[in-house]
Amino acid sequence: MLPAGAGESSEGRTPADNATVRFVFVIGPDKKIKLILTYPMTTGRNFHEILRPIDSIQLTSEYQVATPANWQQGDDVIITAAVSNEDAVTRFGSYETVLPYLRKTKQPSA
């Protein structure tokens, strides 16, 4: 984005003035945007930064779980509040109650 006072032409501008912003969009099978990542030109991208949220989106769409910060494949997941304690036992077997509203369990697998 150019500042308001950038003028009408590119004369005298440098690459530092015309910084590119990179976007990554993940669109689900329902044709809805599931993720938008925005990177400034000076920040490199890492494929694992894109795969981790895709893995999370796929997992959380199939099971009523959420993934915590820095979650990786195989790590424990959080059981959402929409799942009752009784239903959690049926779906996931055992789980750990960290706080009354925070329950975690092993990552479910297909």
Query: Does some domain include residue 71?
Result: yes
How confident is the model over 9-66, as pLDDT tens digits?
777 777 666 677 889 999 998 999 999 999 887 788 788 889 999 999 999 999 999 9
> Among the residues of the chain, which ranges form H helices?
47-62, 85-92
Query: Does some domain include residue 43?
Result: no
Query: Does some domain include residue 76?
Result: yes
The whole-model pTM stands at: 0.74
According to the model, what pLDDT value does residue 6 have? 67
Query: Does some domain include residue 17?
Result: no
Query: Does some domain include residue 13?
Result: no
Query: Does some domain include residue 84?
Result: yes
Query: For position 90, which CATH number holds?
Result: 3.30.1020.10
Query: Does some domain include residue 56?
Result: no
Question: What domain range is 78 assigned to?
Answer: 63-110
Strand residue runs (E) in the chain: 21-27, 33-40, 65-66, 77-79, 96-99, 102-105
Tell me the C-alpha distance between 39 and 23, whole Å. 6
